[in-house]
Structure 1
Amino acid sequence: MSTMKNHHKDPEHLFYSSWTFSKLMAFFFLLISISYLFYSLRFVSHSYDCDQNPHISISHVSETTTTSTTSSLEEERETPKEQAFEETNISHIVFGIGASAKLWKQRKEYIKLWWKPNEMRGIVWLEQKVKNEVSDENLLPSLKISEDTSKFKYKNSKGHRSAIRISRIVSETLRLGMEGVRWFVMGDDDTVFVTENLVKVLQKYDHNQYYYIGSSSESHLQNIYFSYNMAYGGGGFAISYPLAVALEKIQDRCIQRYPGLYGSDDRIQACMAELGVPLTKERGFHQFDVYGNLFGLLAAHPVAPLVSLHHLDVVEPIFPNVSRVQALKRLKVPMKLDPAGLMQQSICYDKTRTWTISVSWGYAVQIFRGIFSAREMEMPARTFLNWYKRADYTAYSFNTRPVSRNVCQKPFVYHLSNAIHNADTNETMSRYVRTQSNPACKWKMADPTQITIVEVHKKPDLHLWDKSPRRNCCRVQRTKKKGTMVIDVGECREDEVVEL
Structure 2
Amino acid sequence: MKVNQKDSEKVGWDQMAVGSQNRAMPKLMVWLILFVSITYVVYTLKILSSSSSSRGCDDGDPLFATAHNRFALPQTQPNSTASQSPIPNFPTETHLKTELKHVVFGIAASAKVWDHRKNYIKLWWKPKQMRGVVWLDSPVKTRPGEGLPRVKVSGDTTRFAYTNRQGHRSAIRISRIVSETFRLGIEDVRWFVMGDDDTFFVTENLIRVLSKYDHNQYYYIGSLSESHLQNIYFSYNMAYGGGGFAISYPLAKALERMQDRCIQRYPGLFASDDRMQACMAELGVPLTKELGFHQYDVHGNLFGLLAAHPVTPLVSLHHLDVVEPIFPNLTQVEALQRLKIPMKLDSAGLIQQSICYDSANKWTVSVSWGFAVQVFRGILSPREIEMPSRTFLNWYKRADYTAYAFNTRPVSRNPCQKPFVFYLSKARLDSSTNQTVTEYSRHRVTHPLCRWKMPDPAELDRVEVYKNPDPHLWDKSPRRNCCRITSSKARNLVVDVGVCREGEISEI
- What is the alpha-carbon distance in structure 2 between the residues aligned to residue 215 and residue 353 of structure 1? 40
Q: Deviation of residue 479 (structure 1)? A: 5.7
Taking a change above 3 Å as real, the CA distance of residues 486 and 51 of structure 1, as seen in their structure-2 partners, is farther
Matched residues in 1 for 2:262 and 2:138: separation? 25
1:442 paired with 2:456, answer no
Structure 1 distance, partners of 2:266, 2:220, is 20
Cα deviation code 1:399-418 (max 9, x no counterpart): 10000011111000000001
Match of 1:85 among 76, 83, 95: 95
Sort the Cα spacing of 1:83 and 1:499 in 2 relative to 1 into closer, same or farther, 3 A. Answer: closer
Q: Quick check: 1:129 aligned with 2:112? A: no
- Letter aligned with residue 112 of structure 1: K
Q: 1:427 aligns with which of 405, 429, 435?
A: 435
For each residue in 1:260-309, what CA deviation from the matched residue of structure 2 results, as whole angstroms up to 9, or x when unmatched? 00111111110000001110010100000000000000000000000000
In structure 1, list runs of 5 or more residues that go unmatched.
Answer: 1-40, 56-77
**Aligned residues: CA RMSD:** 1.9
Aligned-pair distance for 1:358?
A: 0.1
Name the CA shift for 1:360/1:83 in 2 (closer, same or farther; >3 Å).
closer
TM-score (norm 1): 0.84
Q: Which residue does 1:266 correspond to in 2?
A: 274
Q: Is 1:114 paired with 2:100?
A: no
Q: Structure 1 residue 53: deviation in Å?
A: 4.3
The answer to whether the 8 Å contact 1:474/1:487 transfers is yes
| Structure 2 unpaired stretches of 5+ | 1-37, 54-87
Does structure 1 retain, via aligned residues, the 8 Å contact 2:373–2:422?
A: yes
- Percent identity, please: 69
1:205-220 to 2 correspondence within 5 Å? Answer: 205-220=213-228
Q: Distance in 2 between matches of 1:148 and 1:477?
A: 62
Match of 1:72 in 2: none
Residue identity opposite 2:259 in structure 1: Q
Report the equivalent of 1:101: 111
C-alpha distance in 2 between matches for 1:82 and 1:49: 39
Separation of aligned partners in 2, 1:50 and 1:416: 75
Matched, 1:396 2:404: yes
SS in 2 for 1:478: strand
Residues 349 and 142 (structure 1 numbering): CA distance in 2 closer, same or farther, change over 3 Å? same
Q: Map 1:357-376; keep pairs closer than 5 Å.
A: 357-376=365-384
Residue pairs, 1:76-475, within 5 angstroms: 81=91, 85-132=95-142, 134=143, 137-437=145-445, 438-475=447-484
1:485, distance to aligned residue in structure 2 (A): 0.4
- Match of 1:108, as an amino acid? K
1:14 is matched with none
1:497 and 2:508 correspond: no
**Aligned counterpart, 1:21:** none
Partner of 1:67: none
How far residue 239 of structure 1 moved from its aligned partner, in angstroms, is 0.3
Larger of the two Rg values belongs to structure: 2
1:54–1:197 CA distance, 2 compared to 1 (3 A): same
SS at match of 2:470: coil
The offset of 1:124, in angstroms, is 0.2
Partner SS state of residue 231, structure 1: coil
TM-score, length-scaled by structure 2 = 0.83
Distance in 2 (CA, whole Å) between partners of 1:284 and 1:331 is 16
Cα 1:147/1:458, change in 2 over 3 Å = same
Displacement of 1:439: 2.1
Alignment correspondent of 2:50: 52
CA distance in 1, matches of 2:291, 2:149: 26
Say if 2:420 and 2:443, in contact at 8 Å, map to a contact too. no
Distance 1:274-1:447 versus aligned 2 partners, 3 A rule: same
SS state at 2:311 partner: coil
Change beyond 3 A, Cα 1:303–1:473: same
CA distance, structure 1, for counterparts of residue 273 and residue 135 of structure 2: 15
Paired AA for residue 267 in structure 1: R
Partners of 1:48 and 1:296 lie apart in 2 by 79
Report the count of equivalent residues: 433
State the AA in 2 paired with 1:460. P
Query: In 2, Cα distance between the equivalents of 1:350 and 1:402?
Result: 23
- The one-letter code matched in structure 2 to 1:319 is F
**Mean Cα deviation higher: 385-394 or 102-111:** 385-394
